[in-house]
Amino acid sequence: MISTRILSSGKVRLFAVCAFFFTLFSISPSLVAQHHTSDSAASSTVESDSQIPGVEHVENSHGEEKFDPTAAIMEHIADSHYWHLWGHTSLPLPVIIITDKGMEVFSSSKFHHGEDAYQGTHYTYKLIEDKLFVVDQQGNIDKEASSRIYDFSITKNVASLWIAVAILILIFTSVSSSYKKRQGKAPKGLQSVIEPFIMFVRDDIAIPNIGYKYAKFMPLLLTMFFFIWINNLLGLIPIFPGGANVTGNIFLTFVLSFIVLLVVNLNGNKYYWKHILLPDVPWWLYPIMIPVELIGVISKPFALMIRLYANISAGHIIILSLISLIFIFKSLAIAPVSVAFVLFMNVLELLVAFLQAFIFTMLTALFIGTAVDEHHH
């Protein structure tokens, strides 16, 4: 069977390598976000030492804390240096900083949920809106020093991504081993669960869209399909090790889409590039058609990036918004309605989790197919 050859051959190693690179490239989002938001955060009113990132409460005239649904929702869908477990209990994650004076490694527990600054070896650091900054003796942000630090911390999204990759490697090394031991026999156990999905990717995604050259791209398509699907499912689990919004992170979807961009264009044949650079139109239309075709090269993976990010983030926001209704109205009477809608949305999100993995993989195969398709007269 095809699945036997795929999982018992050296392609399973390529599968693991693809998963590894997804992990490697996805560590960079915290670094990019760190410097992208430094100026805006530094210019805002964030000098209060008691500010807790992502949670903002406003006191009313009676001294009671007013629930802020926007801050609560953004805290749960955003990346963080902590992994919330329950109540006020969180799992601190490693902070890895490279500065102009050297590298520092310590636990995020030093910040006490963003309430305190931490005196490191080289600078004093503080978490402000869950972003790392250098502060002076008075607790004010040192913009110049902050611009010289690079945050490679293991955040919640990165840790969740590693968990997903570990699950992928365990599943497919186990299934590959079973295929080697039971070659020619009917699938059994985990094999019988995974094989229908492998056949689905092969028969309904790869072959119809790529054609006879599909086998070369099967490791990539399988990796993307299961990687996105497992991360989507982990995001729906409200407790550890779930709850991270990995595929709803724009930086991760950018990395996946950039990989698609490279694979499609590096494998494009002469007919693919001729259609882009020398389209079959009158020569006087070239100044219009060539830029349009080049924009299409970028817009296709860009659409993949936005579609996955928007759909997964929207699902998390809707579920959290429904839960927030209980605290907004401060009434248990709304709880049955809110919980009923949350259960319905969770079931719907199970379908969306699979559907988004399928759509991303299918469009990837479609783009690859257009690049490797032979010319027909």
Instruction: Note the pLDDT tens digit of each residue in 271-327.
Output: 888 888 888 888 888 888 889 989 989 999 999 999 999 999 998 899 888 888 888
Phi first, then psi, for residue 93 (nearest 5°) are: -115, 160
Mean pLDDT of all residues belonging to the chain: 81
From the list 22, 28, 23, the residue with the least C-alpha distance to 150 is 28
The answer, yes or no, to whether residue 67 has pLDDT greater than 50, is yes
pTM: 0.80
CA distance 111 to 95: 11
The answer, yes or no, to whether residue 209 has pLDDT greater than 80, is yes
What confidence tier does 130 reach under pLDDT thresholds 50, 70, 90?
confident
- What element of type H or E holds 339? helix 335-372
How many CB atoms are located within 10 Å of the residue 250 CB? 15
Backbone CA torsion sign across 201, 205, 208, 214: negative
What token pair was written down for 49? 């030492």
Lowest pLDDT segment from 54-63, 93-102, 361-370: 54-63
From the list 41, 52, 51, 49, the residue with the least C-alpha distance to 138 is 49
What token pair was written down for 76? 């749960």
Mean pLDDT of 77-94: 83
Could you tell me what percent of the chain has a pLDDT over 70? 82
Asked whether 367 and 337 are in contact (CB, 8 A), the reply is no
Mean pLDDT of 111-139: 83
Q: What is residue 37's predicted lDDT score, i.e. its pLDDT?
A: 43
Q: What is residue 161's predicted lDDT score, i.e. its pLDDT?
A: 92
Q: What is residue 300's predicted lDDT score, i.e. its pLDDT?
A: 92
